[in-house]
Amino acid sequence: MSRGRVVVGMSGGVDSSVSAALLVEQGYDVIGVAMRLWEGETESGCCSLDDFLDARLVSEQLKIPFYVMDFRDEFRATVVANFVEEYRRGRTPNPCARCNHSVKFASFWDRARELGGEWIATGHYAQRRDGADGVELLRGADRSKDQSYFLFSMGRAALEQTLFPVGHMHKDEVRAEAERRGLPVADKPDSQEICFAPRGTHAAFVEAQPSSVPILAGAIVDDSGAELARHGGVHRFTIGQRRGLGIAAERPLYVTGIDAESGAVRVGNDADVRSAGLVAREPQWLSDPPAVGTSVTVKIRSRFEPQAAVITSISGDGFELESALLRAVAPGQAAVLYDGDRVLGGGWIRTAKAATAGATAEVGDARN
């Protein structure tokens, strides 16, 4: 007897392919769907015609129906437009989390129900479990591949209907499983995070896209306001960036602030990049919101480790927290809150709080 119909988002990669295979084996009525998100050229290893062909080949091998669904309009309106406008405003967007919120766990779920889907499934490295107070989202078992950070905005209703079949596995186990099953994508390289703008080319992409927000050039200044150089646009910078500043200096310099009104980009020492907390807006919760005074951990970039923090304010508009361990807090990025491995929810960073003297944090440099 079938365990219900599940519509699997199939990118043509090994993770979603193994996810589909596991669900077939577990007795689900599986339908494979590739999402067409971007109409332009891509070098990310995702969303290309070759990827759709790989997804179709896997579906044929698994003997499941396969469809390609067109989400280009939704993707451009909600993800690409936000990416372009945020960078032009001197902020640092997070398109993957935006896509999960607006497309993969919203529009895709609506289309899946049209196919009679009771569930949707993806190849994300995250885990879903039934807790005492309802369904919960946990970090993936493979910490090096954990994607729970990008999923905070999917919403509780979507989480209740979503499966993550490989979230309990490590990447090498997923590839071994694909090889054991003879799937043609077993050795396929991983895709990059941004499917529409290859790594290192985002500035050129932002410049080429139509937008009502102008490109704002200006000065690079030190903490005294002295001009060190000129730059071609605030969209070329992110808080904590060290490389690509175009400044010859005796000491390392980091972007510490971006003024989208004047076009000024402020640089300073490593200590100037540290913060005492942050303010986040547009909250999305996967559990009951934490109370003021709750100790949590917060992750402010996908590759940063979660850092200890305390909630100091919370409302329907957002939350504030304090932490002595934050570095490179970039407006526009997501601040995702955890209780151990469980994702509580998160919001979009509006601003950082002034640094506490002597604070340290063990994270990597933030840079484009």
- Answer with the one of 130, 160, 181 that is the final residue of a domain: 181
- Bridge partner list, 126: 139
Please give the C-alpha separations between residue 188 and each of 13, 120, 191, in angstroms, as whole numbers.
7, 23, 9
Catalytic residue among 46, 47, 96, 195: 195
Instruction: Give exposure, 177-203, as e/b (b: 16+ Cβ within 10 Å).
Output: bbeebebbbbebeebebbbbbeeeebb
* Residue 201 within a domain: no
* Residue 367 within a domain: no
| Contact in structure between 69 and 108 (CB atoms under 8 Å) | yes
Residue 367's pLDDT is 40
Residue 133's pLDDT is 85
Band (368; pLDDT cuts 50, 70, 90): very low
| Those residues with Cβ within 8 angstroms of residue 351's Cβ, 6 or more apart along the chain or in another chain | 278, 279, 329, 331
CA 267 – CA 246 distance, rounded (Å): 12
Give all strands (DSSP E) within the chain, no chain letters: 5-9, 29-36, 66-70, 119-121, 126-131, 134-139, 162-163, 218-221, 227-231, 254-258, 265-268, 274-285, 295-299, 307-315, 318-327, 334-339, 342-353
Same domain, 69 and 173: yes
Same domain, 94 and 169: yes
| Those residues with Cβ within 8 angstroms of residue 146's Cβ, 6 or more apart along the chain or in another chain | 125, 126, 139, 140
Average pLDDT value over all residues in the chain = 92
Catalytic residue among 46, 47, 96, 99: 99
Same domain, 172 and 40: yes
Band (42; pLDDT cuts 50, 70, 90): low
Q: Report helix, strand or coil for 115.
A: coil
Please give the C-alpha separations between residue 216 and each of 1, 87, 204, in angstroms, as whole numbers.
61, 10, 14
CATH of the domain at 290: 2.40.30.10
Sign of CA dihedral 62, 65, 68, 71: negative
Task: With CA atoms as reference, report the closest residue to 313 among 286, 280, 340.
Answer: 280
Q: Enter the pTM of the model.
A: 0.92
Sign of CA dihedral 99, 335, 193, 5: negative
Q: Is 99 a catalytic residue?
A: yes
Q: Which residue has the tokens 């986040």?
A: 280
Residue 327 has pLDDT above 50, yes or no: yes
Band (201; pLDDT cuts 50, 70, 90): confident
Same domain, 168 and 25: yes
Q: Is 195 a catalytic residue?
A: yes
- Answer with the one of 236, 268, 300 that is the final residue of a domain: 268
User: What's the mean pLDDT in 170-179?
Assistant: 98
Tally of domains within the chain:
3
Same domain, 85 and 221: no
Measured N-to-C along each axis, helices 49-62 and 14-25 cross at an angle, to the nearest 10 degrees, of 20
Residue 168 has pLDDT above 90, yes or no: yes
CA 184 – CA 134 distance, rounded (Å): 38
Range of the domain at 122: 5-181
Same domain, 318 and 247: no
The two three-digit tokens of residue 289, written as one number: 């919101």
Band (46; pLDDT cuts 50, 70, 90): low
Residue 364's pLDDT is 38
- Bridge partner list, 342: 138, 339
Same domain, 68 and 173: yes
Residue 359 has pLDDT above 50, yes or no: no
Please give the C-alpha separations between residue 177 and each of 15, 59, 187, in angstroms, as whole numbers.
10, 16, 11
Question: Distance from first CA to last CA of the chain, Å, rounded?
Answer: 50
| Contact in structure between 137 and 128 (CB atoms under 8 Å) | yes
Q: What φ, ψ does residue 98 adopt, rounded to 5°? A: -65, -40
Band (132; pLDDT cuts 50, 70, 90): confident
Task: With CA atoms as reference, report the closest residue to 138 among 168, 109, 102, 118.
Answer: 168
